Structure 1
Amino acid sequence: MMREGDWVMTVRRGGCLCGARAYEIEGDLDGVWICHCSLCRKVTGSIGNAILIVPKARFRWLRGEDHAVTYVLRETYSITRCQTCGTPLPAEVDDTNVYVTAGTLDTPLGKGVRTHLFCASRADWDRDEPDVRYFDARSR
């Protein structure tokens, strides 16, 4: 039972497709950042890399921290993936933040896209056609 003055910390969890790696994030997040640079498009095979910027003190691995492979594409760009299923997962490349791939969250975020980066590098197909179709089916 909650009493006046009690508060509950928001905790969100996520992980890879095969379940070998899992993490949790404490506290609220301000939204998703999408990078449209050519490297992020190549590494995801999509419109770009959708990430959450999480202070290191609020991120922790639940399992599989050592079950990763990191590909260094150049000095300032690398991607870390699960060594079993290949899911791109949180990158711990600086002392301040962890860069969490937004699509790996299992818990709803409750926020939308906050920032688009390198928009001048967007692919020419990164737009809706006038007769775009939408389907509501879920995969799980």
Structure 2
Amino acid sequence: MAKTTAHLGGCLCGAIRFEAQAPALKPHTCSCKICQRHSGALTAVWVEFPKEAVTWTGTGGLPATYRSSDYSSRAFCPTCGSTLGAIDDDPVVALLVGTFDKANRKDLMPLAHSYKGGRPKWWHIDVGAK
């Protein structure tokens, strides 16, 4: 069995930190209105991990959450307000790629885009570009 390299990251102030010990799943971008409002960006870049593979390691403990839909809660730091991702009922933890210490990893590169129609027409997304 191949060894999984840990994915490390956290919030702006460092109080909420995470370690994901699993392969990154479903790297994608999303331009739905919920993602836009949650992130403050026209497009969010996500990657998913099984809930049991994510450990919250910072001194701040677990992130604060806001129930954003009937299947998911958005996670954020209660100290600095940084958005971290979503904790789904599946159980899946979807983390925003911008929160990773090493976001340039190839396994974090988005391969698909969801809710492309939610973006302004002038906003162009190049998913899976080399």
Partner residue in 2 for 1:34: 29
Partner residue in 2 for 1:21: 16
Runs of 4+ in 1 over 4 A off after TM superposition: none
**Normalised by the size of structure 1, how large is the TM-score?**
0.73
Mapping 1:61-80, distance limit 5 Å: 61-63=56-58, 64-66=60-62, 68-76=63-71, 78-80=73-75
**Deviation of 1:31 (Å):** 5.5
Mapping 1:1-140, distance limit 5 Å: 8-30=3-25, 32-63=27-58, 64-66=60-62, 68-76=63-71, 78-107=73-102, 108-111=104-107, 112-127=109-124
One-letter amino acid matched to 2:24 = L
> What RMSD over aligned residues (CA atoms) do the two structures have, in Å?
2.3
Q: Percent identity?
A: 29
SS at match of 2:106: coil
Larger radius of gyration: 1
**Deviation of 1:30 (Å):** 4.3
Q: Distance in 1 between matches of 2:28 and 2:92?
A: 14
Q: Distance in 2 between matches of 1:84 and 1:73?
A: 20
- Residue ranges of structure 1 left out of the alignment (5+ in a row): 1-5, 129-140
**Deviation of 1:45 (Å):** 1.9
Change (3 A) 1:12 1:85: same
**Normalised by the size of structure 2, how large is the TM-score?**
0.78
